[in-house]
């Protein structure tokens, strides 16, 4: 039953019919003349990689951009490193979105560095195949301007999925006149300044429980962020599978969709649904956005 529903949704997504049913569309941060054009998707050939690719294509359809050029690595990067090296050399001046397994990702990041790539974000995404753990996402992102966590959190919360997302910004936090923060229905937001500024957005559990889940110390130091300072990332579509939703969010970020920028060094989004947890298959994906 569940599989049939997913297949139906994927079919609708591919045909674009689902778009008419969706909520508010994404908007771009930049005018058309200054937007990055997504041109290349590098993907493995696992089911998870294909679900990610479906999400990328869905985002492109919704945003009215052309579909990316797709490089699918049959057998993964470990069997096709020469192909990737050649592509990195040949396809310069473009933005790459990539999804692959952990072993391939270890190599890909090294190859991208050698090729002079600029890494906008790298994320590790895991569902561990039991009913007690939420799907986990950890991102290292160059700057808040490339933050993806809010885009994904909005989608996953809308799809009633439990998740834990952490995102660390490498660049210095932007200075803002007042604290700004992401929000979504049912989420409460908090700010901590020690040891560095972090924002925590949680729903369905307390801030202290969220901190325990994230392994963050000092739960007592969190100060609530008043709701009037909060802004919501527009949702875009709601992926039924988390990997597909991930692909949508990563592509949206790569394409320059406007998102909430927060004046912090790191942030986390934790959501626990009131429903019985859904068993997620053991799935692991590493995502990249790289400019070459």
Partner 1 sequence: MASKYIALPKGVSEKTFTAALAEFRRVVGQDSVLVTAEQLAPYIKTMMPVPDADHTPSAALLAQSVEQVQKIVAICNKYKVPIWTISTGRNFGYGSAAPAERGQVVLDLKRMNRILEVDPELCFALVEPGVTYKQLYDYIQEHRYPLWLSCPAPSAIAGPTGNTLDRGVGYTPYGEHFLFACGMEVVLANGDVLRTGMGSLPKSNTWQVFKWGYGPYLDGIFTQSNYGIVTKFGFWLMPAPPAFKPFVIQYEQEDDIVEIVETIRPLRISGVIPNAVVIAHALYEAPTKARRSDYVTGPGAITDEAVRRIMQDHKLGAWNVYAALYGTQEQIDVNWKIVTEAFGKSGKAKILSEQEAAADPAFQYRAALMRGDMTLKEFALYNWRGGGGSMWFAPVSQARGSETLKQMAMTKRILAKYGLDYSGEFIVGMRDMHHIVDVLYDRTDPAMTKAAYQCFDELLTEFSAEGYGTYRVNTAFMDKVAHTYGPVQRRVHKTLKNALDPNGILAPGKSGIR
Nearer to partner 1, 62 or 261 (CB): 261
Closest approach, Cβ 19 to partner 1, in A, equals: 32
End-to-end CA distance of the chain: 43
Q: What's the closest the beta carbon of residue 186 comes to partner 1, in angstroms?
A: 24
What is the rounded distance in angstroms from the CA atom of residue 7 to the CA atom of residue 246?
17
Binding positions for partner 1, rule: CB under 8 A = 77-79, 81, 101-107, 109-114, 117-120, 122, 124-126, 128-130, 136-138, 140, 142-143, 168-173, 175, 213-216, 282, 284, 286, 291
- Nearest distance from C-beta of residue 288 to partner 1, angstroms: 10
For residues 67 and 86, which CB has a smaller minimum distance to partner 1 in the complex?
A: 86
31 vs 215 by CB, closer to partner 1: 215
What are the start-end ranges of the H helices in 159-241? 207-214
Best CA proximity match to 235, nearest among 172, 195, 185: 185
Contact status, residue 24 vs residue 235, Cβ threshold 8 Å: yes
Q: How far apart are CA 142 and CA 255, in angstroms?
A: 15
**What Cα–Cα distance (Å) separates residue 255 from each residue in 151, 202, 203, 215, 262?**
13, 27, 28, 32, 19
Closest approach, Cβ 44 to partner 1, in A, equals: 11
**Between 18 and 265, CB nearer to partner 1:** 265
Map tokens 């050649």 to a residue.
86
Question: What is the nearest approach in angstroms of partner 1 to the Cβ of residue 21?
Answer: 32
| DSSP run (H or E) holding 285 | strand 283-291
Q: Closer to partner 1 at the Cβ: 39 or 213?
A: 213
């Amino acid at each position: 039953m569940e599989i049939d529903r997913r297949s139906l949704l994927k079919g609708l997504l591919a045909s674009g019919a689902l778009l008419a049913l969706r909520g508010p569309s994404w908007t771009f941060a930049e005018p058309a003349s200054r937007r990055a054009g997504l041109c290349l998707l590098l993907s493995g050939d696992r089911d998870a990689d294909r679900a990610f690719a479906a999400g990328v294509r869905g985002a492109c359809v919704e945003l009215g951009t052309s579909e990316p050029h797709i490089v699918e690595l049959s057998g993964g990067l470990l069997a096709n490193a020469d192909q990737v090296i050649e592509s990195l050399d040949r396809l310069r001046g473009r933005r790459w979105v990539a999804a692959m397994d952990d072993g391939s990702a270890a190599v890909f990041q090294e190859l991208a560095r050698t090729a002079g790539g600029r890494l906008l974000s790298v994320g590790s995404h895991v569902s561990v195949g039991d009913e007690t753990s939420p799907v986990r996402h950890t991102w290292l992102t160059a700057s808040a301007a490339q933050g993806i966590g809010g885009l994904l959190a909005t989608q996953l919360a809308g799809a009633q999925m439990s998740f834990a997302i952490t995102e660390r910004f490498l660049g210095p936090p932007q200075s803002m006149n007042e604290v700004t923060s992401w929000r979504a229905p049912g989420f409460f937001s908090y700010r901590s300044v020690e040891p560095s500024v972090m924002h925590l957005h949680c729903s369905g559990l307390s801030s202290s429980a969220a901190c325990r889940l994230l392994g963050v110390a000092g739960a007592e130091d969190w100060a609530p962020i008043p709701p009037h300072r909060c802004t919501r990332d527009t949702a875009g579509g709601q992926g039924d599978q988390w990997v597909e939703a991930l692909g949508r969010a990563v592509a949206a970020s790569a394409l320059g969709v406007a998102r909430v920028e927060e004046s912090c060094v790191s942030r986390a989004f934790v959501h626990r649904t009131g429903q019985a947890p859904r068993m997620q298959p053991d799935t692991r994906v590493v995502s990249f956005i790289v400019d070459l």
